[in-house]
Chain A
Amino acid sequence: MAEIDTSGGGGRKKGGKVRAKKMSTRVDMTPMVDLGFLLITFFMLATTMSKPTSMTLSVPHKEKDETQKDTEPLKASKVLTIFMGKNNEVYLLDGIAADDEKAPAALEKVAYGTQLREGIFKAKQRVNSMFPPEEDGSEPFVAVLKPTPVSSYKNLVDVLDEMAITKTKRYALVDYLTDAETKLLGDKIDP
């Protein structure tokens, strides 16, 4: 009498007593799974998975008074100037000042990405092999970034990113063009 019928519901034993039909203890989980996946779907769509990252940008203090001591001007041969033009074009001027007569021939148009990176590496290698390290131990190579009014914010971030990739520590963001540079770039920076 004390035995437990484990055969599930319904089965009647041959010749046994008629017992009350036992209900199955199994719960149908299907609706619960449905609900679970519905909620998962909701949370997956509502979540922003990748947190945005940020790059720090430090700009020099704006000098209120011009008491800043004169510093030696940079040698043009140590400098790679990167002009950001329109339509995602970028122009490199390696080691030549913009007012030099050889500048128009030396101005090199490259694309963002690998080409730009190769250009930076090439200039970096040239400068670092030509000049000894600076007094404070940093490399002599300097990059000057010149965004033109027709360039986009993405271009700026891309170039800053190239600075991080090429590990160029000495770079300057200069937001105006000299007359010689404007002349050099000509219609490349027309809106």
Chain B
Amino acid sequence: MAKVRPKKSAPFIDMTAMTDVAFLLLTFFIMTATFKNNEAAEITTPSSISQIKVPDEDIVVISIDPEGKVFFSVDGQPVRISMLENIGSAKGITFTDEEKYKFSIQPGFGFPVAQLKSWLGMSPEQMKQVEQPGIPVDSTGVSELADWVFAARKANPKVRIALKGDNAAKFPVFKDVLSNLQSQNINRFNLITSSEEPPAGFRQDD
């Protein structure tokens, strides 16, 4: 007579529930994803207790990196193209359609106008790797940055200006950027910061 053996069965865990959870989370992350765009410079912004969100559209971001180099970026490919056309006609440079396209897919840039054409002539890999010198800015308020701001506002009149400075950026650079904006009669702009908790006992006014 055969012994009664306990019935062997392969351990089987029901994964259905886990799949449900995994895909639920996946859906959430896909829905909320806004991708990091690789910017011309790595910038760590200071933090503030401000709760105002930075708008996604119609915005020009002027970035100041730790060394004081100034970068410029604007949203929307058509705006970038017409901005490039504006600056080209102001400076007497004509850009080919290919250069315009290459410019429009760059999230930001930091080149003097004179060097722009040679940068746009590079291959996409080189464009990413090349060291960007920054847009020339000086305290007189009529440097190239002012021209770019003017060209961007001509391309999209609704555009708002935001400044994104690095923690370590020195004040004089900020002052120069400020005087460039003020020379265009832009007296109201946003400073991009990361958010931080207000101190205990602070209540926001209505």
Contacts and interface: CB of A to CB of B under 8 A. Distances in A.
A50 B185 CA distance: 32
B204 to A, nearest CB: 9
A55 B48 contact: yes
A44 B12 contact: no
A57 B191 contact: yes
Interface string B159-177: 0001011111111111100
Contact of A161 (B49, B54, B165, B175): B49
Contacts of B22: 33, 36-37, 40
A43 B26 contact: yes
B191 A157 contact: yes
A147 B190 CA distance: 18
Contacts of A167: 205
Contacts of B162: 54
B188 interface: yes
Contacts of A156: 171, 174
B198 interface: yes
Main secondary structure of the interface of B (DSSP, over half): mixed
Interface residues of B, number: 58
Contacts of A32: 15, 19
Contact of B170 (A37, A152, A158): A152
Interface in B169-203: 169-175, 178, 182-183, 185, 187-195, 198-199, 202
A153 B178 CA distance: 12
B12 to A, nearest CB: 7
Contact of A56 (B29, B36, B190): B190
B190 A58 contact: no
Given A32-B15, A54-B52, A153-B171, A40 B190 contact: no
Contacts of A28: 15
A54 B50 contact: yes
Interface string B46-85: 1111111110000000001000000000000000000000
Nearest to A157: B46
B12 A26 contact: yes
A156 B165 CA distance: 10
Given A54-B53, A165-B198, A47 B35 contact: yes
Interface string A6-50: 000000000000000000001011101100110110011011111
B182 A50 contact: no
B171 A84 contact: yes
A97 B119 CA distance: 52
A53 B18 CA distance: 36
B206 to A, nearest CB: 12
Interface string A85-127: 0000000000000000000000000000010010000000000
B33 interface: yes
Count chain B CB atoms within 10 A of each CB in A47, A53, A58, A154 and give the residue with the most. A53
Nearest to B36: A48
B16 interface: yes
Contacts of A58: 187-188
A29 B168 contact: no
Nearest to A36: B22
A40 B25 contact: yes
17 contacts: A28-B15, A29-B14, A32-B19, A33-B22, A43-B29, A44-B29, A52-B195, A54-B193, A56-B52, A56-B190, A56-B191, A114-B199, A150-B170, A152-B167, A153-B64, A153-B173, A154-B169
Interface of B: 12, 14-16, 18-19, 22-23, 25-26, 29-30, 32-36, 45-54, 64, 162, 164-175, 178, 182-183, 185, 187-195, 198-199, 202, 205
